[in-house]
Amino acid sequence: MIGADQTIVFTDQNVPSESSARFTYAGEAAITGRDEGEEVSQVRGSGTLTIYFNDRGGASFSDPASFSRGTPVAVAQLLVNDTLERTTSGLLVAVGEDELAQVSAEPFAFGGERYRFGHAGVQERLLFTGSDTRVGAPPAAATIGLAGSIVVTDRGAQPAAAENLKATPVGEAAASPEASRPVTPVVVASPRGDCATLEPWLGDAVKRAGRVAAIAGEIPENATSDSLDADELRRLASELSELSKDQRAAEAPDAAAAINRLLVTAFSTDKRGLSLLAAAVADRDDAVFAQGQTTLHDGNELLARANGQLSRLSTGCGTEIGTPQSGQVAG
């Protein structure tokens, strides 16, 4: 909700979270098509997504039904176009590029004022990445944590202004309505004609990917909980968190949108792996240490795939991917 007064968005502006959010959403969709591969599946579907307003907040990820409590203030049709990929260790990774078409907006009251959340005709694009940490869970039973954003691609015709009714902004306008067309994430095979539009994103992405590879390389394959330092692991995990945020915020051109999402997922997975290792070292917990090693392996596998795609882009555009030197996180 770009530009919206934060006092209406959260019950506590100092602690923005699902529990303090006044606006939540819930949706459902039916699968209309599926393309199955050995490791990758493409899923298409359609459904609805509803935005709710709850003056008191109180949603919790441990109670999914809490996200549909409150007053429905907007409804959108949802077109699903998601890619599900299973890594060699069994981690399920999801990459989505979905479309939303708002069909209704009901006025609601807050602080003595009346508001409207968007309006019918608004077109949006939903981009996200995520993974299911329950290794080996079948896609039909997976619970996937997602991170992403929604961009308005077409604001449509503005309705006539109603007396004492304020419009609540729902997002930034995209660079072009062309972005609203369905897009299937693909690997860009020949970017030579797009090099001008790929920079500076490409150079920055190569540098971040190199740094993430260097950080991951500081963890020896034969490491044990006694050989690593928890404080240093936490520091590296914090650096990975910032790199992931920077990559997510990067303005990737259309030709690199899928690679950008893969990079974010790889960075975030490596960060989660290091966080688990840090906790395991501090607590001397061998089970959590093994989980951290598996998660870090998955992140490195995703990073290798992303680097392969970056390499093809870089070769076409004359940008080199270096091989950073790394040390070890010794205890």
First to last CA, the chain: 45
| Residue 327 falls inside a structural domain | no
- Looking at per-residue pLDDT, the higher value among 303 and 177 belongs to 303
Predicted pLDDT at 199: 73
Tokens standing for residue 141 = 């039973």
Co-location of 47 and 24 in the same domain? yes
Co-location of 196 and 162 in the same domain? no
Co-location of 73 and 47 in the same domain? yes
Co-location of 99 and 199 in the same domain? no
Residue after which a domain boundary falls, among 122, 153, 180 = 180
Co-location of 307 and 199 in the same domain? yes
| Residue 331 falls inside a structural domain | no
Co-location of 24 and 48 in the same domain? yes
Query: How many folded domains does the chain comprise?
Result: 2
Average pLDDT across the chain, whole number: 78
Co-location of 124 and 208 in the same domain? no
pLDDT band at 185 (very low <50, low <70, confident <90, very high): very low
Tokens 């990445």, residue located: 129
Most confidently predicted of 66-80, 168-182, 188-202:
66-80
138: Cα within 13 Å, side-chain hemisphere: 2
Rounded CA-CA distance 280/282 in Å is 5
Rounded CA-CA distance 81/65 in Å is 24
Q: Which range among 143-152, 250-259, 279-288 shows the weakest confidence by mean pLDDT? A: 143-152
Co-location of 234 and 276 in the same domain? yes
* Cα torsion 32, 35, 38, 41: sign: negative
| Residue 187 falls inside a structural domain | no
pLDDT band at 133 (very low <50, low <70, confident <90, very high): low
| Residue 38 falls inside a structural domain | yes
Q: Rg for the chain (alpha carbons), in Å? A: 22
Calculate the alpha carbon distances from 293 to 145, 208, 277, 290, 296 in Å: 20, 22, 7, 5, 5
| Residue 75 falls inside a structural domain | yes
Co-location of 175 and 197 in the same domain? no
In degrees rounded to 5, what are phi and psi of residue 151? -120, 130
Q: What is the pLDDT of residues 262-319, one digit of tens each?
A: 888 889 888 988 998 999 999 888 888 888 888 888 888 888 888 877 777 666 565 4
Q: Which of 222, 192, 219 is nearest to 276 (CA)?
A: 219
Co-location of 166 and 59 in the same domain? yes
Predicted pLDDT at 15: 84
> Which structural domain, as residue segments, surrounds residue 249?
192-317
Predicted pLDDT at 247: 92
Calculate the alpha carbon distances from 24 to 59, 70, 126, 148 in Å: 8, 9, 15, 15
| Residue 280 falls inside a structural domain | yes
Residue after which a domain boundary falls, among 147, 180, 213 = 180
Residue after which a domain boundary falls, among 121, 155, 180 = 180
| Residue 263 falls inside a structural domain | yes
Helices (H), the chain: 6-9, 195-198, 201-217, 230-249, 257-283, 286-317
Is the separation of the CB atoms in 26 and 49 below 8 Å? yes
Predicted pLDDT at 171: 44
Rounded CA-CA distance 317/196 in Å is 9
Q: Which of 261, 305, 264 is nearest to 82 (CA)?
A: 261
Predicted pLDDT at 164: 54
| Residue 21 falls inside a structural domain | yes
- Looking at per-residue pLDDT, the higher value among 248 and 159 belongs to 248
Is the separation of the CB atoms in 306 and 262 below 8 Å? yes
Report the length, in residues, of the chain: 331
Is the separation of the CB atoms in 144 and 92 below 8 Å? yes
Average pLDDT over residues 16-35: 89
- Looking at per-residue pLDDT, the higher value among 2 and 71 belongs to 71
